[in-house]
Amino acid sequence: MSLQHGKNRDEAILTIPNLITVSRLALLPVAIYLAVGKGNFILATILLAVIASTDFLDGYLARHLNQVSELGKIMDPSADRVVIVAIAVVAIAEGWFPLLLGVIILVREIFISAVSSYLYKSRRYRLDVIWLGKAGTFLLLAGLPAILLGEQLHPDLHLFHAVGVALALAGTLLLYLAAFYYTTRVLMPMLGHKDG
């Protein structure tokens, strides 16, 4: 039986993809606690990898189960931002990757959150996720577990840290390209258009 029973698809709340998105947020503090509180980087890495995989899974299921909803379109990128910001803040605090990289990641996420919030509140316009943003998010969420795994005090795992930083850099670059697209193709035209 569909979790959307009796509701228009676009208005559905209790869908499988939405529940997966919520689970991503629920698992995040557990992963952070395992890494910071317990020093269990292996288990934390596995959990972060699961969290990263749900970013693909919820979108895939939404399309293939015909459970795309307006709530899901808002929740999915918002959950991505929460995960990225939280991990970046922890990584900066713990010294897991360069401070500059962490700041660059945070600045982008704060900017996009502000733009998204402004457009929705003032123009009732929701920013649609583009492939640059999805690809950037994928690389960044793939890089963060690798960075965490590299924190294990074992020489054979140090390479994972370097690979993770490289993936995070590539992902951040794509995310900034997506931000440039949103700014030039959406935000600026709307700001230049007089309200009717």
How confident is the model over 8-28, as pLDDT tens digits? Answer: 555 567 889 899 999 999 999
**Other beta carbons within 10 Å of 157:** 16
Q: What is the pLDDT of residue 194?
A: 54
Supply the pLDDT for residue 12.
Answer: 66
Residue 40, amino acid = N
pLDDT score, position 6: 41
For residue 5, is pLDDT > 80? no
Rounded to whole angstroms, the Cα distance separating 44 from 192 reads 46
- pTM (2 d.p.): 0.84
79-82-85 Cα angle (round to 5): 145
For the chain, which domains are there? Answer: 9-192 (1.20.120.1760)
Structure tokens at 51: 């969290």
**Percent of the chain topping pLDDT 90:** 42
| Percent of residues, the chain, with pLDDT higher than 70 | 91
Question: For position 28, what pLDDT does the model report?
Answer: 94
Instruction: Name the one residue in this structure whose structure tokens are 């995040």.
Output: 28
Average pLDDT value for residue range 152-162: 81
Among 32-41, 99-108, 185-194, which is the least confidently predicted range? Answer: 185-194
pLDDT of 3:
44
